[in-house]
Amino acid sequence: MMQLECPCCGRRDEAEFVCGGTTHIARPGLAASDVEWGAYLFFRDNPKGVLLERWRHSYGCGLWFNVARHTVTHEVLAVYSISAAPPALR
């Protein structure tokens, strides 16, 4: 089973977490076009490689946090605060 490092509780099994999908999505302004709104609502990064995503320790402390994870190996490359900028990755 995959394990994630909750910034508050430490390393726990995947079953305690819920994935919230791609992170760092910026909401467009009210003047945005249909194309911009469509992109904001439905189009997500879907790389075969490193994905920046948010997770919540739902069955633990409830904290939302960001994770950089490889979508093939599932290796976690970074865990960082929900409000932090993406880290520089190797």
Using CB under 8 A as the binding rule, whether residue 86 contacts other proteins is answered as: no
Q: Which residue has the tokens 């508050």?
A: 8
Residues in 36-65 that interact with other proteins by CB under 8 A: 37-39, 41-44, 46-48, 51, 53, 55
Using CB under 8 A as the binding rule, whether residue 31 contacts other proteins is answered as: no
Select the residue interacting with other proteins from 5, 74, 86, 89 (CB under 8 A): 74
Do 40 and 28 meet the contact criterion of CB atoms below 8 Å apart?
yes
Cα separation, 46 vs 48, in Å, equals 7
Using CB atoms within 10 Å of the CB of residue 80, give its burial: 0 to 12 exposed, 13 to 18 middle, 19+ buried: middle
Using CB under 8 A as the binding rule, whether residue 14 contacts other proteins is answered as: yes
- Give me the count of residues in the chain: 90
Using CB under 8 A as the binding rule, whether residue 18 contacts other proteins is answered as: yes
Select the residue interacting with other proteins from 30, 31, 35, 85 (CB under 8 A): 35
